[in-house]
Amino acid sequence: MLKEFKEQRLNEIQELRSMGIEPYPYKFEKELTAREIREKYDYLQAGEVLESEKLSFAGRVMSIRHHGKTAFFHMKDDTGRIQAYVRADSVGKEKMDLFKRHVKIGDFIGVRGFPFKSKTGELTIYVQEYTLLSKALRPLPEKWHGIKDKEIIYRQRYLELIVSDEAIERFRKRFKAVQVIREFLNSRGFIEVETPILHYVTGGAEARPFVTHLNVFDIDMYLRIAPELYLKRLIIGGFEKIYEIGKNFRNEGISYKHSPEFTSIEIYQAYADYNDMMDLTEELIVEVVKRTCGTLKISYQGKEIDFTPPWKRVRMRDFLKEKLGVDILEDPDEVLLKKLEEYGVELEIKNRAHLIDKLRDLVEEELVNPTFIIDHPVVISPLAKRHREDPRLTERFELIIFGREIANAFSELNDPVDQYQRFLEQAKMREEGDEEAHMMDLDFVRALEYGMPPTGGLGIGLDRLFMFITDSPTIRDVIPFPIVKPKKFEEEEAEFEGGFEE
């Protein structure tokens, strides 16, 4: 069916060209978007015509209803849909016949005319002339909800965007949120910077990296798991307020909240500590939610999340002691392991860092509204400064929303001797089989030896944040082109056979 459809469209293109009509012209002067047309002319009453107002619009044809020598059709751009009306006594018989024969659902056309409201009250463009702008060779799905395989949607996101106005709005909200973040930070004197994607050694997070090979030097390199250590090098070099929005890559599992490729922002401010970064995190996310959702109380998957500040702050030690009855500073490993076994948690690696991490995972699910978990043990925080009141702890926080880690921040460790010892401990963990432990980065230690000012650092997982503001159940719904298991092109084509109707 699809093969025959494409052949028919190719024949139409050949016919158009034989008539001297190019089905793929170079440009069209589009003056207004669908939203702007609605905003400008929505005041018209049913049946009212504004022939003196001329406008031009272009978009994709989404539906057509032919009525003899006239036709109503809907066009879509990235702001929405609008109806248009064409008739033979306006465009001429020849152009009307051409419209009926060659303008199909999925094609792009440009129209010029004037606005009016139909008798049913729908704002409509009265077409006085039109231009075919792009001929579609494939049909659109008759009903998008008929495609139940989400993998198809993820592999062919462009198709979802074409037929689903909700998808356009979802990603518009994502992209607007990034714009809000930049405006917020730029207005506070931060500079957006860039750091490498290819790393000689991994660092800045506990994760398994992707390995690649640089032919010119004949060495293995890694896709970055985090930009942290390079951003700190910029602080050491003299920058004081910086941020980077970019991709990170972790060779790990895929779930509703995990993607091997994801977007984060990391922010560093000299002469600040983790208290300052908590305030910054709260103010930044409040601004994003307010400007993208219009309210600080949003509905996410049927539950309310209240972003109204101030947000709750709880110490990790106190939180785990209250919820699980264990003391992560005083209790021996055996007690922590026994508690995990009570909850059926199995561990491949049973060092203290992993025990504490797994205990934390057990209780974070309870936190729905934004909550800062603060003051983590040194053993799970190799890049954070020791706590000024308790050297067993670090000045670190994680922001938990709806049971998910959204942000991680420190008073950054700037003592090169302490940092070197922490790297040694991480290296030992790697030797014991922990592939996610930090690698030794001697160049970073060397940079620290030149001196780094007191610094607050912050990382936010933007995809997870965008899940909340778009009410998306999985992270892949907010990543435009997420990683999915590949499928042969022929298999995908077979899945669509019979699923279309013109």
Backbone angles phi, psi at 71, to 5 degrees: -160, 140
CATH of the domain at 41: 2.40.50.140
Residue 189 lies in a domain: yes
245 belongs to a structural domain:
yes
Residue 275 forms part of a structural domain: yes
Determine the structural domain holding residue 40 and report its residue range: 1-134
The answer on 263 and 184 residing in a single domain is: yes
Task: Judge if 31 and 174 occupy the same domain.
Answer: no
Report the alpha-carbon distance of residue 460 to residue 277 in Å, rounded: 11
156 falls within a domain: no
Tell me, what's the pLDDT at 470?
A: 98
What is the C-alpha to C-alpha distance for residues 464 and 461, in angstroms, rounded to an integer? 6
Which CATH number do you get for residue 262?
3.30.930.10
Write the CB contacts of 154 (distance below 8 Å, at least 6 apart in sequence). 476, 481, 482, 484
Number of domains in the chain: 2
Q: Based on the fold, state whether residues 120 and 185 are members of the same structural domain.
A: no
Residues 102 and 185 in one domain: no
Name the strands in the sheet holding 191-192, side by side, starting at the edge strand that comes first in the sequence.
191-192, 241-249, 261-270, 455-461, 404-411, 396-401, 371-374, 312-315
Question: Would you list which residues are annotated within the binding site for Mg(2+)?
Answer: 398, 405
81 and 176 share one domain:
no
Q: How many of the other CB atoms lie within 10 Å of CB of 52?
A: 6
pLDDT 10s digits, 15-29? 999 999 999 999 999
8 Å CB contact between 296 and 282: no
125 and 207: one domain?
no
Any domain includes 325: no
In the annotated binding site, the residues are 398, 405
Task: Find tokens 């309310």 and name the residue.
Answer: 304
How many whole angstroms separate alpha carbon 306 and alpha carbon 369?
6
Cα distance between residue 346 and residue 340, in whole Å: 8
Q: Are 45 and 188 members of one domain?
A: no
Q: In the prediction, which pLDDT does 435 show? A: 83
Altogether, the residues listed in the chain come to a count of 502
- For residue 468, being part of any structural domain is answered with yes
Predicted pLDDT at 490? 86
Q: Are residues 246 and 189 in the same domain?
A: yes
Bridge-based pairing state of the strands 455-461 and 404-411: antiparallel
Q: Are residues 127 and 188 in the same domain?
A: no
pLDDT at 122: 97
Query: Are 125 and 181 in a shared domain?
Result: no
User: 289 and 373, same structural domain?
Assistant: yes
Q: What is the pTM of this model?
A: 0.92
Q: Read off the DSSP letter of residue 380.
A: G
Token output for 458: 């912050």
Taking CA atoms, 371 is separated from 54, 368, 447, in Å, by 54, 8, 34
The percent of residues above 90 in pLDDT, for the chain, comes to 86
Q: Which residues of the chain have pLDDT under 70?
A: 142-148, 496-502
Torsion angles phi and psi, residue 42, rounded to 5 = -70, -15
- C-alpha triplet 163, 164, 168: angle, nearest 5°: 115
Q: What is the pLDDT of residue 499?
A: 46
Exposed / middle / buried, residue 437 (Cβ in 10 Å: 0-12, 13-18, 19+): buried
- The strand pairing partners of 130, in sequence order, are 111
Same domain flag for 169 and 58:
no
